[in-house]
Amino acid sequence: MTAPLIVFTGVSKTFETARRTVEAVRDVSFTASRSEFITVVGPSGCGKSTLLNMTAGLFHPTKGLVQYDGMTLTDLNPRTGYMTQNDHLLPWRDVAGNIRVPLEIAGMAKREMADRVAVLIEMVGLTGFERVYPSQLSGGMKKRAALARLLAYDPETLLMDEPFAALDAQLRLKMQTELRQLCRRLHKTVLFVTHDLDEAVALGDRILLFSGRPGTIYQSIVSPLPPDRDLYHLRRDPDFVRVTGDLWDTLASTSTVEA
């Protein structure tokens, strides 16, 4: 068995500001294997984004260790890519121009860059929209463009912070389906944060359920759903119904949920 890629061991994170001290997460331990799709679900303020930030090396634990590929993270982790709820597309650049940003920063040669952008555009289903500006894109297309930009420099691990929260249910399902397929094809390791239990169960190979702040792992569930699951028909799947039911029962017993 290969060693896990991401290892959290007894991680606690406390933020000290001039006005208050906040313990965001407490004693969090979990591992993520290569190519594993892990969903992290829990109430607002339980430290989900903090967890991603620590994996990206943006924050460091107050207590415990965050290791990536066998090394303790002490600096930014360049092997991760981040996607948030906000697409942060540059309005003055068209789709191709936005996807080029990380490649330009990396100093890629023009020819190679054009080829790479073409592959990415095809990969996320934006062929024909290369010259379109963000203001002219639908919500789903913006997500596709942001996803292509995220994949541009081929990060090994994708850190996704509620990327589909603003989409309508139907489009969300479509994007979830495509994301899972793409990540499987490209063998990406994914930490996907959501506060939607259904989304967590639909997408995760493993689901980490967090308590309210300070976030601790209440439950870690290995998904009984097949890797090539059909997200469109999950709602009637007995395994899906059982796992979401179990998670709801656990969440309902949490009394520290914050608004």
Ligand X SMILES: Nc1ncnc2c1ncn2[C@@H]1O[C@H](COP(=O)(O)OP(=O)(O)OP(=O)(O)O)[C@@H](O)[C@H]1O
Residue 182: Cβ within 10 Å count: 16
Closer to Mg ion by CB, 11 or 95: give it.
11
The pattern of x and - marking residues 34 through 73 that bind Mg ion according to CB under 5 A reads: ---------------x------------------------
11 or 231, CB closer to Mg ion? 11
Q: How far apart are alpha carbons 42 and 210 in whole angstroms? A: 5
Minimum gap (Å) between residue 213 Cβ and ligand X: 6
Nearest to 95 by CA among 60, 51, 130: 130
Candidate residues 29, 102, 195, 216; the one interacting with ligand X per rule CB under 6 A? 195
β-strand 37-41 against 189-194: which pairing, if any?
parallel
26 binds ligand X (CB under 6 A): no
Closest CA to 96 of 144, 164, 154: 144
Restricting to residues 41-100, name those near ligand X by CB under 6 A. 44-50
Nearer to ligand X, 136 or 256 (CB): 256
Which value, in Å, is the radius of gyration of the alpha carbons in the chain? 19
Q: How many residues bind Mg ion (CB under 5 A)?
A: 1
Min CB(105)–ligand X separation in Å: 24
How far apart, in Å, are the Cα atoms of 6 and each of 1, 52, 76, 196, 214?
15, 11, 14, 23, 21
| Residue 50 contact, options Mg ion, ligand X, none, Cβ 5-8 Å cut-off depending on partner type | ligand X
Residues of this chain that interact with ligand X (CB under 6 A) are: 15, 17, 22, 24, 44-50, 195, 213
